Amino acid sequence: MKIKAFFLAVTLLACTGAHAQQINPITKAVLRGYQEILNENPKDYTTLYQRATQYYNLSMYDEALVDIIKALDYTPEKEKELRIDEYSMLTDIYIQTKEYDKALSAVNNALALSPKDYALLYKKGNVALYLNRPEDAYESFAAMQRLKSRSQEAFFGMARADIMMDKKEDAKELIKQAENADPSNYLTYCRIGELYEDMREDENAAANYLSAFSLADNKSSRPLESLIRLADKNYPAVEAAIQYAISRTSNTDALYFLQASIAFNSGNFRQAYDGFTRLLQSREGQIASVYANMARCCLALDKISEATTNADLAVIKENSVSTLLVKAETELAANNPSAALLAATKALSIDANSTEALVQSALANIALKDTKAAIQSLNEAAMTDPANLYARMIRAYVNSNTPDNAKEAIIEYGRIGNTLDPETFRDVTYKALAQCLAGKKLDADETMKRAIREKENKTKDDYYLAAVYYAQTGDLATGKEMIDKAVSLGYQNLYNLYTNNTANLNIAPLRHLLK
C-alpha cells in the first residue's frame, strides 16, 4: 500500500458526543402529529409506543420513558407482540439511563412472553454483565447459543462472562469458536482484542487489533482507534505487536507509518519523532501528511525551529487546510503571529467554516493585540460549532481582558459552566474552570473532583488537564501532584509542560515547581 493512500486509512475522525439530537422541522411535525392523536385519545397505546420510539431515537430518554410506561399500562394482554416490543424498548431506555436493575426487570417481563427470543436473551446477558452477575449472563448467552449454534454474539458473551468469573482458559476456547464463526471480518478481531484487554493480555490485544486493521481496508477507523487507545495506556505492548508484524513482512513502509502515527496519536512523541524521521529518509515518505505530523511532533517536543521547517515543507507539498493549520500553530509557537495569521487566513479561504482555522486566526490576532478581530473570529467559531468549548473559553478569556466586555466574559463562563454532561475529560476541565471563573469555586472543585474520582483508567492527558485546572485556580500543590502523575504515565508534551501560554488554558502558574 502506498503511504499516501495509507495515510487516508489512519486519519482519525472527529468523535461526536451522544447528546440529544437537535429536532428538525420534519421531526417536530411528526411529534405534533402524535400529540394531536393523543389529545383525542390519551390511551392510544400504539401512538404512545411510536412516540416513545421517536423520543428514544432522539436520545430524549425521560420523555420516552413516560410514554412507554403509559403504553404498557394501556396495551391489552392479548397484544402480545406489541407488549414484547414495549418491554424491549423499556429495557433499552433503562440501559441508556444506567438503571440496570430496572432494565433486568423489564427484559425479564419481555422474556416471560417470549422465552426463546434471541435478541431479548442477548439484552438480558448484557444487562447481567452490567450488574456484575456473570453466572446469569453466561446462562443467557448459552441459551442464545442453543438457538444458534454458531452465534458469535453468544460466544463473545459467554467469553466475557467467563473472564469476569476468572475462567480465562474457558474464555480463550470460546474466543477461538467466535473467530472460526467469522474469520474474515475485521470486527471479529476488534472484539477479540477487547476481550484480551479485559484479561490484561495487552500484546495479544494489540495483535488482534492489527489483524482487524489489515482486514478493515479503510472501512472503519475502529481498529486504529483501538490501537491508539491501547497505546495510550500500554505503548510497549502495541510497539511489540507492530515490530513483530514488521519482522514478518517485506512491505514495511505502511507498518512504519502506522507505528509512527500510533506513537504520535497516543502522545508518545519521542517514539513518533524517531518514526517520522525514518519515514522522511525515503522518497515515498516525503509527503505532506508525514511532514505535518513531524511538525506537530516537533512542536510537542518543544523543537520549535524544526517544527516550523517541517510545517513549511508540508505546505509546499500540499496547500490544504490541514497543512496550513499546522503552519499557523508552529508559527504562533515561534512567536511569529503575523505569519500564523496569514496561514490561518489562507486556510479560511479554502474552508470558511473551519472552526480550527477560525480559532488559530483568533489566537494570532490576540498575539497581535487586535482584540476586535480576535473576537470576530471567535464569534464565528462559536456560531459554526457551539459545542466547541475550547473556542468559547478563549472568547471568554479575551472578553475578560477587555474592560468593556468583562460582563460578556462572566456570562460566557456561566454558560460553559452549565454545560450538561460533557463527553470528554477535556470539556469537563473547561466546565470546571469556567465555573470557577464565573465565581462558583465550590461547584468547580466538586466538578473536577468528581471527574477525577469517577473516570476509570485515567490517562496521562487527563492528569495534565486536571493540572491545568488546579494551576489556574490557585491550588498549585494539587496541580503539581497531577503533573507528576501525568509524567509518571509517560506524558511527553514538553511544549505544554514548559512553554504553552495559550489563554488561561495552561499550567504556567505552577511551572516554577517543575524540575
Nearest in space to 464 (alpha carbons), one of 484, 436, 446: 484
Burial class (CB in 10 A: 0-12, 13-18, 19+), 18: exposed
Nearest in space to 228 (alpha carbons), one of 195, 186, 268, 181: 268
User: Looking at residue 44, what is its pLDDT?
Assistant: 96
* Contact predicate 183/166, CB 8 Å: no
Report the C-alpha gap between 68 and 98 in whole angstroms.
17
Burial class (CB in 10 A: 0-12, 13-18, 19+), 165: middle
Does the pTM surpass 0.85? The reply is no
Task: Tell me how far the alpha carbon of residue 477 is from its chain's centroid.
Answer: 29
Nearest in space to 317 (alpha carbons), one of 279, 339, 285: 285
Cα torsion 14, 19, 22, 26: sign: positive
CATH number of the structural domain 387-515: 1.25.40
- Decide which of 3.40.50.880, 1.25.40.10, 1.20.140.10, 1.10.3720.10 is the CATH code for 26-115: 1.25.40.10
CATH number of the structural domain 287-382: 1.25.40.10
User: Looking at residue 216, what is its pLDDT?
Assistant: 87
User: Looking at residue 281, what is its pLDDT?
Assistant: 92
User: Looking at residue 23, what is its pLDDT?
Assistant: 67
Rg value, the chain, Cα: 26
Report the C-alpha gap between 474 and 36 in whole angstroms.
56
Contacts of 236 by beta carbon, 8 Å cutoff, 6+ apart? none
In three-state secondary structure terms, 411 is helix
* Contact predicate 350/322, CB 8 Å: no
CB atoms within 10 A of CB 149: 9
* Contact predicate 333/326, CB 8 Å: no
Contacts of 279 by beta carbon, 8 Å cutoff, 6+ apart? 3, 253, 256, 257, 260, 285, 290
User: Looking at residue 382, what is its pLDDT?
Assistant: 94
DSSP secondary structure letter of residue 13:
P
User: Looking at residue 462, what is its pLDDT?
Assistant: 96
Report the C-alpha gap between 193 and 199 in whole angstroms.
10
φ, ψ for residue 428, nearest 5 deg: -65, -40
Single-letter code of the amino acid located at 456? E
Identical topology for domains 287-382 and 387-515:
yes
Grid coordinates belonging to 279: 519515514
CA atoms within 13 A on the CB side of 266: 27
Domain boundaries, the chain: 26-115, 287-382, 387-515
Nearest in space to 219 (alpha carbons), one of 18, 13, 14, 15: 13
pLDDT digit string (tens) for the chain, length 515 residues: 444 444 444 443 333 333 444 567 888 888 999 999 999 999 999 999 999 999 999 999 999 999 999 999 999 999 999 999 999 999 999 999 999 999 999 999 999 999 999 999 999 999 999 999 999 999 999 999 999 999 999 999 999 999 999 999 999 999 999 999 999 999 999 999 999 999 999 999 999 999 999 898 776 889 989 999 999 889 999 999 999 999 988 878 888 889 999 999 999 999 999 999 999 998 889 999 999 999 999 999 999 999 999 999 999 999 999 999 999 999 999 999 999 999 999 999 999 999 999 999 999 999 999 999 999 999 999 999 999 999 999 999 999 999 889 999 999 999 999 999 898 999 999 999 999 999 999 999 999 999 999 998 899 999 999 999 999 999 999 999 999 999 999 999 999 999 999 999 999 999 999 97
Phi-psi category of residue 166: left, alpha or beta, with phi > 0 → left and psi -120 to 50 → alpha: left
Report the C-alpha gap between 103 and 183 in whole angstroms.
33
